[in-house]
Amino acid sequence: MEQSRIAHSIGIALDRFIKNNQGQFQYASGELSQLLRDIALASKVVNREVNKAGLIDIMGALGSQNSAGDDQQKLDVLANIRFTRALTKGGEVCALISEETESYVDLNNKGKYVIAIDPLDGSSNIDVNVSIGTIFSIYRRKSPEGTPIRDEDILQKGSEQVAAGYILYGSSTMLVYTTGHGVNGFTYEPTLGEYFLSHPDQKMPEDGKIFSVNEGPAASFPASVEKYLQYCKKDGSYTARYIGSLVADFHRNMLKGGIYIYPGTAKNPQGKLRLMYECNALSFIAEQAGGLASDGKNRILDIQPKALHQRTPFYVGSKKMVEKAKSFD
């Protein structure tokens, strides 16, 4: 009998994959690999806490607010602590930007990398046992190592990311990332405590039938978005899917083909999502998978950030759907 029929291969573990592909990085010094491993480790700790959320006292609001004035959930803060600890210990990171902190953390070291992170995405879904995520972007610093951090190190365009990814705490936990050489997805095997390559060289379908939009505030959407939504509803061939956790909505659309739109509204004229730690990472991944990401007019990755917590309208997903949505402008 063939050996593979008795024991299926469990595939390539994330650590091995990172090591095998390290040569692809322009700066193959091993530090970026270490950062990816640190993120993976922190995500396992967060995953453990997310999985126990109903059993221990980590659900609900903390009673504080973040930089955007959103109520912080206990898990938002806990995840921020886990990722911050994991990323600041090794000395590779010189500055950390997080949704949960008003200004960036300057680590005053010789680290070469700047990280922007949404430690816990989809906070409104924590208490109701619905998928949530983590989003991260990695940049090289521009100023010389060992000198004080400057704005140019922090406010970099998405096109300058050297790596980006997300973790989805869903019906299974996945880590999906790119270093600019395609997108690879790994699924967590909890009994082994390892991520294994499950979605190699992921590509987003060029077209799709899913539109993901919170239409609650549609009365104040731009006319172009309203027209696109009417187009999607014209003959019943499209379907609406909206989880309310960006990572989960994005991930589904990446696998099945679809578009996610969060346009400007009366409440949030620039949309709700943040350029530096939500949109840039997913835009890099979308483009690497053959999709598109736009603010309705411009490529997200070309936007020069002016502030850490800057928001942007966000259209992301299958290439043809994003092009179609933009065509109503």
What are the residue numbers of the active site? 70, 76, 99-100, 118, 120-121, 278
CB of 121 to Mn ion, least distance (A): 3
CB of 123 to ligand AHG, least distance (A): 3
Cα angle for residues 282, 63, 311 (degrees, 5° grid): 30
* Nearest alpha carbon to residue 222 among 326, 118, 112, 89: 326
Please tell me whether residue 99 binds ligand AHG under the rule CB under 6 A.
yes
As a whole number of angstroms, the distance between CA 312 and CA 283 comes to 12
Please tell me whether residue 137 binds ligand AHG under the rule CB under 6 A.
no
Residue with tokens 């020069």: 304
As a whole number of angstroms, the distance between CA 138 and CA 117 comes to 9
Please tell me whether residue 121 binds ligand AHG under the rule CB under 6 A.
yes
Going 62 to 214 to 328 to 300, the CA torsion angle's sign is positive
311 secondary structure, DSSP code? B
Question: Which of 118, 153, 194, 287 contacts ligand AHG by CB under 6 A?
Answer: 118
Residue pair 263/246 in contact (Cβ under 8 Å)? The answer is no
Question: Which of 123, 198, 294, 318 contacts ligand AHG by CB under 6 A?
Answer: 123
As a whole number of angstroms, the distance between CA 196 and CA 194 comes to 6
Please tell me whether residue 100 binds ligand AHG under the rule CB under 6 A.
no
Task: Point out which residues bind Mn ion (CB under 5 A).
Answer: 99, 118, 120-121
CB of 241 to Mn ion, least distance (A): 18
Q: How many residues bind ligand AHG (CB under 6 A)?
A: 12
Span from 12-20, 152-160, 187-195, 240-248 in contact with ligand AHG (CB under 6 A): 240-248
Please tell me whether residue 245 binds ligand AHG under the rule CB under 6 A.
yes
Measured CA to CA in angstroms, residue 72 lies from 179, 243, 250, 310 at distances of: 31, 20, 23, 18
Span from 33-41, 81-89, 137-145, 243-251 in contact with ligand AHG (CB under 6 A): 243-251
CB of 11 to Mn ion, least distance (A): 30
Please tell me whether residue 295 binds ligand AHG under the rule CB under 6 A.
no
Going 11 to 16 to 17 to 21, the CA torsion angle's sign is negative
CB of 127 to ligand AHG, least distance (A): 12
As a whole number of angstroms, the distance between CA 289 and CA 178 comes to 9
Chain residues in the site for ligand AHG (CB under 6 A): 70, 99, 118, 121-124, 214, 244-246, 272
